[in-house]
Structure 1
Amino acid sequence: MIKTTVRALAAAALALLPLAATVPAHAAETLSLHDAIKALPQAAESRDGYERSKFKHWIDEDKDGCNTRNEVLLAEALTPPTVTAGCKLTGGTWSSYYDDKVVEGPSGLDIDHMVPLAEAWDSGASQWTAARRQAYANDLGSERSLVAVTARSNRQKADQDPATWMPPAADAQCTYLADWVATKLRWSLTVDRDERDTLRARAVDCEDTDVEYDRV
């Protein structure tokens, strides 16, 4: 089950749960996957100076007691968890679209940054302010930016881009490419040559896939 289906099933459960405030965005644009990849600026990558701590997360921006991790879990739950004091979550079920696994309970899930923090640094975030890096690391303004997946798949992915890692579930491939490209466009991040070549090659099998995104 792809992520968009998961979000739709969870929407009703979220009606009374406000999400954290996000950076104001421009009007959404929609491109074919091919054209969206073409729109990505190409540049060499550098990890000089990267430290994960330079992207502050998980925060509780709207002060409702639930940090970004828990906001994502609440947003993506197939079966809503029980929420108790301190935004402690118990029970619930989730679908990890990377590996097409259904997970019971939140402890088996990681919240993955679609474009990993290290990759974002390599691709332009090294030049950002601390405030913009924090906004990126806690981006609840786009359903593509953060995703609840099995801890196993998230740790296999680590900080790799699509040139070296793709989700193992066959049905996830085109969705993942669209999510990756949309996130890079949203945050005006670059791609390197190998990444661009891989995206173009893999997009051949995703002719009917569109990319919807807004810029921040």
Structure 2
Amino acid sequence: MRSALAAAVAAVASAALVAVPAHAAPVQHRAAGQTISITLQEAIDSLPVADEDRTGYERTKFRHWIDADRDGCNTRKEVILEEAVEAPEIGPGCSLTGGSWYSAYDGEIVTDAARLDVDHVVPLAEAWDSGASAWTPLERQRYANDLDEPRALIAVTGRSNRQKADKDVSDWLPMPSDQCTYITDWTVVKTRWGLTIDQREQDALHRLAAGCANEPITVELAR
């Protein structure tokens, strides 16, 4: 199920924390593996604002789903297994039987893994628009299969994922009870990968965050 902030903190507990002050400029001196502690509002303020550009985007430029640990289950299946409310049985080729899941985007309970999509919280096209067009193929592969950040990928109903498509937070949101979690996850992913936001996106994030708890979040930078 969707991992809480504590899971992310535990994953990077051995890393040094760098506090980022309120109303900060974009995070400077970034380094992969660096961990920052920042509130939601500060994180939004720290994201650089730039116009988006989808020139040259193709989904195939983000290689996924891979089986990084060679256990027979690719990234998609790993997320589905991690987020199961009731664990399914795993068969040959990582086929899944039984189990149940909660789809946070629309509140549905799913009892058939085939009905699930694994969504990139910040869509691949949105990442491309926001800086990933300049990345190496390996960096884009790492982004598309980011199992190290529990907020990056989520199992949801195929219907809700199709409704979202490649829209950003100014054009699509999940059901109200998930919106604070969703915009926090969105901000974490953009911060982790050094992605930009456009002006409409920033305005939407600020408007939505005003109704959410401004709690500290911990982010391990991926690049």
TM-score by length of 2: 0.85
Matches within 5 A, 1:1-216: 3-4=2-3, 25-168=32-175, 170-216=176-222
Partner of 1:175, secondary structure, is helix
**What is the CA distance between 1:90 and its match in structure 2?**
1.1
Partner of 1:99, secondary structure, is coil
- Counterpart amino acid of 2:183? L
Q: Percent identity?
A: 52
Give me the whole-angstrom Cα distance separating, in 2, the residues matched to 1:49 and 1:132. 17
Give me the whole-angstrom Cα distance separating, in 2, the residues matched to 1:208 and 1:47. 32
The CA RMSD over aligned residues, in Å, is: 1.7
Judged with a 3 Å threshold, the aligned counterparts in structure 2 of structure 1 residues 209 and 96 are, in CA distance, closer, same or farther, namely farther
How many pairs does the alignment contain? Answer: 198
Give me the whole-angstrom Cα distance separating, in 2, the residues matched to 1:72 and 1:197. 31
1:23-70 deviations in Å (ceiling 9; x for gaps): x95243232211110111111110000000000111111111110000
Gaps of at least 5 residues in structure 2 are 8-30
Partner of 1:213, secondary structure, is strand
- Counterpart amino acid of 2:150? E
Judge conservation of contact 2:3–2:151 (CA < 8 Å) in 1: no
Give me the whole-angstrom Cα distance separating, in 1, the residues matched to 2:121 and 2:216. 17
- Counterpart amino acid of 2:100? T
TM-score by length of 1: 0.87
Larger displacement relative to structure 2 (25-34 or 180-189):
25-34
Question: What residue number does 2:19 align with?
Answer: none
Judged with a 3 Å threshold, the aligned counterparts in structure 2 of structure 1 residues 103 and 209 are, in CA distance, closer, same or farther, namely farther
Partner of 1:3, secondary structure, is coil
